[in-house]
Amino acid sequence: MKILTSVAIEPTNHCNFDCVMCYRGERERGYMSWKTFIEVMYQIKKIRTINLIGLNFAGEPLLHPNFLEMINYINSQKDFRIVLQSHFPFVALKRGYSIAFTTNGSLLMPEKFDALNGKVDRIQISIDGSKEDTEKQRVGSSYDTIKRNALYAIFHKMPNTKIAIHATKTTQTQESLKKFKSDWQNADEVTIIDAHNENLVRSSRLPQLSLYCHELNHYLVVLWNGDITTCCGDLAGRNICGNLFNGGISKGTKPGSLCKECNIYR
C-alpha cells in the first residue's frame, strides 16, 4: 500500500546551466502557473500523511518569478500533519510542512538567501568538486559565484535552515571529490551521489541502495504542467501516471516503465 509522505513540486524545468549529466531531454519547458500550484497544495492538504514538500525537480527553481511566494504560501498552511516514525509510538503530529529545495547556487545571492532564510528547512547546493570540474560539468556556471553564495548561506543561516552541499560523482570528477567533504566541513551536510542516466542506470558498479524503493511507495512528483510521475529520477517525464487535473495525486501510485529498467533499487 502506498502511503504518501512527501511530494516534489516542480516550479520549472528551465535551467540556466547545461549540465553534461542532465537528462531532461526534450520534455516541454515551462513554469508552473499559480493556479496549478494552488491546486497541488489543495490536494496535498487532503492527504494528511504528506509532511514534506520539495520545491524543485528538473530545473533551477529560483528561476521561477513566484518562488518566494510559493514558499510563503506553504508556510502559511498550519494544519496538523501525520508523521510516520520507525519507533514507538510510530506516528506523531506536526503543524505545517517541512520544505526543502535543491539549487545550482548561481542565483542564491545574499539578498535572495536572506529572503528565504528561516523559511526553508533544507537548502541543497550543487557543486561538483573543483572549480575546473564544476565548470566543465555544469556548463555555463561560475564556480566562484556558486562558492561565494554557498559560503554566505552556510555562515548566515538561521538554526532552523540546514545547508547541504551536494556533488554528482562521475569519472571526470571522482579525483577532485576526494577532499570534497573536508573542503565543505562547515556545511550541515555534505553528500556525493553516483551519476545515473535517464534509464536510472548508474555510472559505476556500486551496491544497490536497497531492495525497497522508498520513492515508489512514499513519494511522487508534480511537474510544472500538472503531470504526475512516481519516480524521483524521471527528469525526462517517461514515468507519467496521471495529471493533477485528471485523477490527481491520490491516483499517482502506479509503477511505470522506468521501474523495470532501474538498477538503483533492484
More confident residue, 205 or 33: 33
- Amino acid sitting at position 129: G
pLDDT band at 84 (very low <50, low <70, confident <90, very high): confident
What would the pLDDT profile of 38-78 be if each residue is shown by its tens digit?
999 999 999 999 999 999 999 999 999 999 999 999 999 98
Q: What is the pLDDT of residue 88?
A: 62
Average confidence score pLDDT of the chain: 87
Ordered domains of the chain (ranges, CATH): 1-15+25-103+214-266 (3.20.20.70), 107-195 (no CATH)
* pLDDT higher than threshold 50 for residue 94: yes
How confident is the model over 145-169, as a mean pLDDT?
A: 95
Q: What is the pLDDT of residue 173?
A: 75
Q: Residue 176 pLDDT more than 80?
A: no
At 206, the pLDDT band (50, 70, 90 cuts) reads very low
pLDDT value at residue 22: 85
**199 — pLDDT class (breaks 50, 70, 90):** low
Q: Where does the pLDDT of residue 9 fall: very low under 50, low under 70, confident under 90, or very high at 90 and above?
A: very high
- pLDDT tens track for 232-261: 888 888 888 889 998 888 766 677 777 777
What is the number of alpha carbons within 13 Å of residue 202 lying toward its C-beta? 14
Most confident option among 123-137, 149-163, 197-211? 149-163
Higher pLDDT, residue 186 or 23: 186
Amino acid present at 214: H
Residues 96-149 pLDDT 10s: 999 999 999 999 999 999 999 999 999 999 998 889 988 888 899 999 999 999
> Residue 262 pLDDT more than 90?
no
